[in-house]
Amino acid sequence: MNKDFALGPFGQFFFFLVICLCNICFLILWILKFLDIFRGLIKERYSKIYILIFLCGRKDKMKFETAKRAKDQKNEEIIESIEDISLFLAKMKSIYSKKRYYEDHKRFLKLLYYI
C-alpha cells in the first residue's frame, strides 16, 4: 500500500459522511419529485379522489391550484425559451468572433433589435 495517498481514520470518516449526506439528499429529492408526479397523475385520472385527499374536499381550491400549475408551466416555457436564445447567441458570438461570414446577417440584426 502506498502511504502517500492513504487516508487516516478522520479522513475516511469525513468522506463516508459526505457520501452518506449526498445519498440522503438525492433520496429526498427523488421522493419529492416522485410524489409530485404521482399527485399530478392522481389529479388527471381521479379528480374526485384528488379533491378528497389533497384538497380536503374543497372543490374551490382545485381552480386555484390549476391556475397556479398553469402559471408555473408558462414560467418554465419562458425559461426554456431564454435558454435557447442564450445558446443561439453564444453560437452567433462564436461565428462573429472567428470573423466568419454569416448568410443571414441582416435577419440576425433584426432579431437582435427585437430582443
What mean pLDDT do residues 50-59 have? 85
Query: What pLDDT does residue 1 have?
Result: 58
Torsion of CA 20, 21, 26, 29, to 10 degrees: 140
Give exposure, 64-81, as e/b (b: 16+ Cβ within 10 Å): eeeeeeeeeeeeeeeeee
| Residue 54 cell numbers, joined | 389533497
What mean pLDDT do residues 11-21 have? 96
Task: List pLDDT tens digits, range 66-106.
Answer: 888 889 889 999 999 889 888 888 888 888 788 777 777 77
Task: List pLDDT tens digits, range 26-54.
Answer: 999 999 999 989 988 998 899 888 888 88
Is the pLDDT score of 2 beyond 70? no
In the chain, domain spans? 13-58, 59-115
Half-sphere exposure of 57 (CA within 13 A, CB side): 0
pTM: 0.53
DSSP 8-state class, residue 31: H
